[in-house]
Structure 1
């Protein structure tokens, strides 16, 4: 027997085929489906995609993007910006923590979409205190007349667009698997079905973190955290530089710039994962 009315799963199938339906609206329907099927896993995933991930959450791999590591500096009387460097040219303390060109984006889907609304081809992501990182680079720099002043990651706008697309695709995969597994005379998939599909299509992994936190107006931009995990091995008796624990930046139309945040000392915490 065919389904006699439009359940939440059927509604999701129809809405996914309609590009005018926002990804946020689809995820809200997912929360309802998770409640109906008793799947906390689906509800948690949809909420995280809507509201953003916390710094200690596992981030789905489709939210991982690669950026170009760039530095600004001065050599004699000449200023230069946007010089590309490799991960191997980062300070040793950062290399030892596995810092590289990969970052993970933890902001809510609506904020991700907003960050892509620019005519620029790339967006600059910078830690709260790039000068402190530059100071580390200068300590290891053998050229006395060349000084680094800032370090940041340049990420293509299309990479962020692709992240939003991947969120919608993950949702489409979940819905397609549930529709295939659900008998036609039933409207609500079981908790086991939903949990299995959600786990399969929301794979997680490790990298560094960029987070856009909600609560800022469009004119002000959004606040961004760049964070990493702390371990006891991060402590160093010779460390003297202060690091930012909850580093924050302002996301404008084309770039992300530094804003104020709290600090933690190098002796207690290394900000890079």
Structure 2
């Protein structure tokens, strides 16, 4: 690479290792570099990173991060809310076998992710598009008549978002390093073949699945079907003092993340004893058993054996 004016590739190579240079700036330069090289793959990747992966059939592996999924549960009037971790074992395997509910698909644009990483909040509540399927299933089959699952969402720590941004920068460093290594010194920009091949080698995409809801005409049975290539975009995040949409008609407000906008009507009666009710009953039984065991131990220590 030569010439009186510093080439775009040289600029990117210098800036990519500087943490003070935002990823948004670097990716915009990559977009221009793709145009210079005639590489549609490089331009497409840079555009996806900048604008997000909404509607994409694949998502880079570095954008898939581990996160717990929680439920917001209220009474049937939308009050007395509490949070409960959703255990994957509660969901039917035949429906959710292709979806790992504890892997958050971070499809937002880089600008939004960088804003979240610098936000004062320490964690964010993000809802996948198929959250409504989980909510409908749990309300139909696993919640007692006095409770309502109002929302399901991933709880994503800010540290995880920061780590993901670091992986994106590392991916960009590897990509630029490959372009520099494969571009002749007397050439300002890589050629199309070189740029396309670098993107193919460095950026590893993974398929993901989404879930669509199917309900019988009489409103009775609820089933779900998994399908790949849809859009599991995280659509809401809780920021300091702001509002964030979590699913249709549900809004998270303030630092406590209480859910507003619930209908006051009671849900349909569960077909069997609910998971929530069963959990509460098991908790009571365990408590009683613990008290009895403690009493027996005290009696034995005192030497009193009424059962002898």
Counting only pairs closer than 5 Å after superposition, residues 148-159 of structure 1 correspond to structure 2 as 148-159=149-160
1:73 Cα deviation (Å)?
2.4
Let me know the Cα RMSD of the aligned residues.
Answer: 3.6
Deviation per residue, 1:131-152 (Å, 9 max, x gap): 7743421332275565533322
| Matching of residue 20 in structure 1 with residue 20 in structure 2 | yes
| Separation in 2, partners of 1:97, 1:124 | 23
Deviation per residue, 1:82-105 (Å, 9 max, x gap): 222221223667525535211211
Q: Taking structure 1 as reference, are residues 132 and 59 closer, same or farther at Cα in structure 2, changes over 3 Å only?
A: closer
| Separation in 2, partners of 1:18, 1:127 | 33
| Separation in 1, partners of 2:167, 2:196 | 19
1:113 Cα deviation (Å)?
1.0
Answer yes or no: is the 8 Å Cα contact 1:71–1:85 preserved in 2: yes
Structure 1 counterpart SS, 2:196: helix
1:4 Cα deviation (Å)?
3.7
1:39 Cα deviation (Å)?
0.7
| Matching of residue 43 in structure 1 with residue 81 in structure 2 | no
Q: Taking structure 1 as reference, are residues 137 and 201 closer, same or farther at Cα in structure 2, changes over 3 Å only?
A: same
| Separation in 1, partners of 2:92, 2:18 | 48
1:198 Cα deviation (Å)?
0.8
Partner of 1:258: 246
Partner of 1:73: 73
Structure 2 counterpart SS, 1:19: coil
1:128 Cα deviation (Å)?
6.8
Counting only pairs closer than 5 Å after superposition, residues 60-209 of structure 1 correspond to structure 2 as 60-74=60-74, 79=80, 81-90=82-91, 94-96=95-97, 98-127=99-128, 133-141=134-142, 147-207=148-208
Partner of 2:282: none
Q: Taking structure 1 as reference, are residues 135 and 186 closer, same or farther at Cα in structure 2, changes over 3 Å only?
A: closer
Of the structure 1 ranges 34-43 and 144-153, higher mean CA displacement relative to structure 2 is found in 144-153
Answer yes or no: is the 8 Å Cα contact 2:108–2:234 preserved in 1: no
Higher Rg: 2
Answer yes or no: is the 8 Å Cα contact 1:3–1:185 preserved in 2: yes
| Separation in 1, partners of 2:102, 2:216 | 28
Counting only pairs closer than 5 Å after superposition, residues 180-259 of structure 1 correspond to structure 2 as 180-207=181-208, 228=210, 237=216, 240=219, 249-254=235-240, 256-258=244-246
Give the structure with the higher percent strand.
Answer: 1
1:260 Cα deviation (Å)?
5.1
Of the structure 1 ranges 18-27 and 136-145, higher mean CA displacement relative to structure 2 is found in 136-145
The TM-score, its normalising length taken from structure 2, stands at 0.65
| Separation in 1, partners of 2:53, 2:143 | 40
Q: Number of residues paired by the alignment? A: 237
Structure 1 counterpart SS, 2:119: coil
Structure 2: tracts of 5 or more residues without a match: 225-229, 250-308
| Separation in 1, partners of 2:223, 2:40 | 40
Structure 2 counterpart SS, 1:71: strand
1:75 Cα deviation (Å)?
7.8
| Separation in 2, partners of 1:41, 1:115 | 28
Deviation per residue, 1:187-214 (Å, 9 max, x gap): 2212111111111111111336xxxxxx
The TM-score, its normalising length taken from structure 1, stands at 0.72
